[in-house]
Amino acid sequence: MTDDESAVCPHCGQAMKKWRVPVNSTWPHPFFFVCFNDDCPYFIDGWKYMWEQQAAKASYRCRLDPDTGEYMPLPVWSHDALKNDIIE
């Protein structure tokens, strides 16, 4: 996948947004594609799962690594968490 290609969330079918990786992170990429759809079942179900499994008030969003094409969770602590780093 290239920088110019669009990505689609496998859980809700919505277009994923390009998200800037934090400067001090250990990830080797400048960005990931992330599903910021608040109605995505992956995000919605994550709240219950994280509470039941970890006793944590958190969820996760679907993240796509543009180099490997692998989908992985991106932990979030609120509906608005990480949205300020959306770049597209």
Query: pLDDT by residue (tens digit) across 24-58?
Result: 888 888 999 999 999 999 999 999 999 999 999 99
The predicted pLDDT at position 28 comes to 87
Query: pLDDT by residue (tens digit) across 10-19?
Result: 999 999 999 9
Question: Does 66 score more than 70 pLDDT?
Answer: yes
> What secondary structure letter does DSSP report for 46?
H
Question: Which alpha helices (DSSP H) does 1-88 contain, by range?
Answer: 41-54
* Amino acid at site 80: D
Question: Does 3 score more than 60 pLDDT?
Answer: no
Which class for 11: exposed (0-12), middle (13-18), buried (19 or more C-beta within 10 A)? middle
The pTM for the full model equals 0.88
Question: Does 5 score more than 70 pLDDT?
Answer: no
> How far is residue 62's CA from residue 40's CA, in Å, rounded to a whole number?
9
Helix (H) / strand (E) element for 31: namely: strand 31-34
The predicted pLDDT at position 43 comes to 97
* Share of the chain residues as helix, strand and coil, in percent rounded to the nearest 5: 20, 25, 55
* Amino acid at site 12: C
